[in-house]
């Protein structure tokens, strides 16, 4: 992966050049493409940190490009859309985008969104110091307000780099997730949401708080505000559940707290020691 590389997939030459200039001045190595097919090839070649993706492309639309990217890449995807309907924005998120900016936009607005994506820590600052030395695992049991639901028992290294819960393994070192030994490819947003739930156990998170985890909130662009931010969280949670094979009715990992938000589901079996 190139250091601070960005791929811009945009057929409008003026917008493409403006974005290339803005990100070039920001220290990014910029690669631009005018069509969806070329953009997908470019992402395969350059493995960028982030992709700026227009919805309205001349060959395949941005939704299909995002779906194709998610087959092989977990790069952050910021979607540009000229459509003002929330349903169109949510379609982009369902296809695999991490965030969106509506046209017309200011270049600094796009830079803000990208920097917000890249500020999502690979290892959160509130964990203890990290080390490459083997560490003994610890079991973290947290109990929510609903005692009948039972505690959520999460097995984690004391360095908080590896979490296990109900057959799920989340490795912060490798940015990988596994369910019952099979790898599950997650987007950056999905990974951060799952990390937050595992890290905090049975603590309930409001949708607006999870929006802040994703670098959203208090921006309010083109009529979208808090409600839209919460819808973004809902879409990412729905995608996460689908990839994990989780059921909202009988949750193994992501439990809905109706009228408020989400929390980690209770432990179903005895904890398994984390591997070194």
Which pLDDT score, from 0 to 100, does residue 133 have?
32
Q: Find, among 211, 208, 167, the residue nearest to 189 by Cα.
A: 211
CATH fold match for the domains 5-118 and 137-264: no
Second-level CATH architecture of 137-264: Orthogonal Bundle (1.10)
Q: What is the mean pLDDT of residues 66-72?
A: 92
Q: How confident is the prediction for the chain on average, in pLDDT?
A: 79
Which pLDDT score, from 0 to 100, does residue 274 have?
39
Alpha-carbon gap, residue 191 to 213, rounded angstroms: 11
Alpha-carbon gap, residue 103 to 84, rounded angstroms: 9
Which pLDDT score, from 0 to 100, does residue 38 have?
96
Is residue 93 within a helix (H) or strand (E), and if so which, with residue range? Answer: helix 86-95
Q: Say if strands 50-54 and 152-157 run parallel, antiparallel, or are unpaired.
A: unpaired
Tokens 């009988």 found at = 250
Helices within the chain (DSSP H only): 13-25, 36-46, 62-69, 86-95, 107-118, 188-200, 207-213, 226-244
Judge whether 233 and 211 are in contact, CB under 8 Å.
yes
Weakest mean pLDDT among 34-38, 140-144, 160-164, 254-258 = 140-144
User: Cβ atoms within 10 A of the Cβ of 176, count?
Assistant: 15
Weakest mean pLDDT among 64-68, 137-141, 266-270 = 137-141
Q: What is the pLDDT of residues 81-138, one digit of tens each?
A: 876 566 777 788 888 888 888 888 888 778 888 887 887 643 333 332 222 333 344 4
Segments making up each domain of the chain, as ranges = 5-118, 137-264
pTM: 0.60
Judge whether 55 and 100 are in contact, CB under 8 Å.
no
Which pLDDT score, from 0 to 100, does residue 230 have?
79
Which pLDDT score, from 0 to 100, does residue 268 have?
81
Weakest mean pLDDT among 43-52, 162-171, 204-213 = 204-213
CATH superfamily for 5-118 is Response regulator (3.40.50.2300)
Alpha-carbon gap, residue 76 to 221, rounded angstroms: 20
Instruction: Please calculate the CA angle 258-85-245 and round it to the nearest 5 degrees.
Output: 45
Q: Which one has a higher pLDDT value, 90 or 41?
A: 41
Q: Which one has a higher pLDDT value, 59 or 137?
A: 59
């Amino acid at each position: 992966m190139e250091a601070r590389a960005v791929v811009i997939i945009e057929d409008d030459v003026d917008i493409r050049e403006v974005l290339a200039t803005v990100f070039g001045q920001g220290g990014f190595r910029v690669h631009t493409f005018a069509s969806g097919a070329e953009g997908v090839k470019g992402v395969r070649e350059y493995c960028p940190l982030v992709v700026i993706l227009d919805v309205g492309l001349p060959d395949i639309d941005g939704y299909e490009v995002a779906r194709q990217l998610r087959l092989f890449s977990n790069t952050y995807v910021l979607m540009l859309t000229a459509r003002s309907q929330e349903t169109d924005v949510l379609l982009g998120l369902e296809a695999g985008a991490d965030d969106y900016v509506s046209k017309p936009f200011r270049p600094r607005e796009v830079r803000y969104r990208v920097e917000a994506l890249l500020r999502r820590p690979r290892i959160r600052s509130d964990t203890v110091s990290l080390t490459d030395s083997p560490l003994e695992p610890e079991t973290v049991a947290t109990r929510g307000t609903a005692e009948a639901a039972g505690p959520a028992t999460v097995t984690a290294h004391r360095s908080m780099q590896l979490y296990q819960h109900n057959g799920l393994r989340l490795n912060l070192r490798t940015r990988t997730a596994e369910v019952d030994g099979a790898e599950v490819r997650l987007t950056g947003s999905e990974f951060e949401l799952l990390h937050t739930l595992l890290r905090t156990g049975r603590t309930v998170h409001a949708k607006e708080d999870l929006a802040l985890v994703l670098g959203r909130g208090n921006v309010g662009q083109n009529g979208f505000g808090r409600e839209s931010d919460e819808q973004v969280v809902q879409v990412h949670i729905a995608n996460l559940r689908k990839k994990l094979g989780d059921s909202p009715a009988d949750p193994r990992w992501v439990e809905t707290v109706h009228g408020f938000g989400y929390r980690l589901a209770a432990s179903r079996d005895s904890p398994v020691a984390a591997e070194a």
